Amino acid sequence: MSEPRSPESPACAPSPAAPALLRTSDATPMALAAARALCASQQIPAACLLMVATPIGNLADVGLRTLALLQRCDLVAAEDTRAAQRLLKAWGLSLPLLRADRHREQAAAQQVLRHLAQGRRVAFVSDAGTPAIRDPGAALARAARAAGHAVLALPGPSAVTTALSASGLELDQGYVFAGYVPATQGQRNDFYASQLASPRAVVCFETPHRIRDSLAALLDLAPRRRVVLAKELTKQFETFVEGSAEDLLRWLDADPHHAQGEFVLILEPAAAHAAAELPQQALPWALRLARELPASRACAVVAEMTGADRRALYRWLLEQPGRGDAGQAAARGGDEA
């Protein structure tokens, strides 16, 4: 499996106008020349594995450093050789290709090791996005490093960070990438029950034929949790929709085209959701009183003043970094709501 991409558009497919632009203008050789100049001084070992991030939809998202260093490689190991060939051809590159999908990753690792032992530079590309991020590649990197060869990363596109950057969610506490949502109902429910408790935003991938079941599970487990849905990232019909699971199901029903493509779902952190459910005047009062009182007592006072749920307010307060004595008291085990 790999980072989401549209079934009606090949992996790394450019926009309709892009192929003609790449063929007829002098932008490509100029870009390649600039990339070579910028990277000319970078030393990379003769026997080296490069983990190369590739576009998740738009071919123009390839990095100039990636283009420059690909020119210095001897071959490309690829999850999907057709997708790799499209990328290389679009940028005027030609390199031998070696198939290295998940089904034959161990065998491909041995082939890559033989090339590295002969002093060759090998680039590994997944069919879209950053290698080893819910994609093949980890086994190759592990085998190369164990054999004493250098392994370098060429950063670039990722559906995870692309979706997060436009989600509007606060990420001060970080995020969790949970991969693909499981396919069966029982596993799916267990997956969401676990992830919904996370104090961090949770990013997961979903397929077009399971998106409705996924949202239905969220509706059952957390009907008021805010969810951000992203699809067709970097492509012509890139879309972001947010709301409750019910809102998103209604959006899917509005147009049959809405269910097409691959999806990234981002679940609002549990702490942010809890805060949204509490009276807003309760939060600053809880923070202020927790400087003077034990957290449980502060929450009891604020709950009486504002009508907030005392236990929910206490859980929210414990999750605030460096606020009052909540964290220290919880660690001592002597302050329970």
Question: What are the pLDDT digits (tens) for 49-105?
Answer: 999 999 999 999 999 999 999 999 999 999 999 999 999 999 889 999 999 988 888
**Torsion sign across C-alpha atoms 318, 321, 324, 328:** positive
- The dihedrals phi and psi of 222, each to the nearest 5 degrees, come to -150, 75
Q: Which residues contact 302 (CB under 8 A, 6 or more apart)?
A: 282, 285, 286, 289, 308, 313
What mean pLDDT value characterizes the chain?
Answer: 85
How many other β-carbons are positioned within 10 Å of the β-carbon of residue 323? 17
Q: Which residues of the chain form CATH 3.30.950.10?
A: 160-273
Q: Average pLDDT for residues 12-28, to the nearest whole number?
A: 47
Q: Which two structure tokens, joined as six digits, stand for 309?
A: 């749920």
E strand residue ranges, 120-200: 121-125, 150-154, 175-180
Structure confidence at residue 117 (pLDDT): 96
When pLDDT is cut at 50, 70 and 90, the band that residue 27 belongs to is low
Structure confidence at residue 112 (pLDDT): 95
Q: Which residues of the chain form CATH 3.40.1010.10?
A: 18-157
Q: What is the pLDDT of residues 94-121, one digit of tens each?
A: 999 999 988 888 899 999 999 999 999 9
Q: Is 260 exposed, middle or buried (0-12, 13-18, 19+ CB in 10 A)?
A: middle
Reference 133, options 23, 245, 53; nearest CA is 53
Whether 159 and 57 have beta carbons less than 8 Å apart is answered as no
Q: What is the pLDDT of residues 125-171, one digit of tens each?
A: 998 999 998 888 999 999 999 999 999 999 999 999 999 999 999 88
- The dihedrals phi and psi of 294, each to the nearest 5 degrees, come to -55, 150
Fold classified for 160-273: 3.30.950
Structure confidence at residue 3 (pLDDT): 60
Structure confidence at residue 6 (pLDDT): 41
Q: What is the pLDDT of residues 219-269, one digit of tens each?
A: 998 888 899 999 999 999 999 999 999 999 999 999 999 999 899 999 998
User: pTM of the prediction?
Assistant: 0.73
The CATH architecture that domain 18-157 belongs to is: 3-Layer(aba) Sandwich (3.40)
Whether 160 and 264 have beta carbons less than 8 Å apart is answered as yes
Reference 162, options 60, 272, 264; nearest CA is 264
Q: Which residue has the higher pLDDT, 4 or 127?
A: 127
E strand residue ranges, 161-260: 175-180, 201-206, 227-231, 239-243
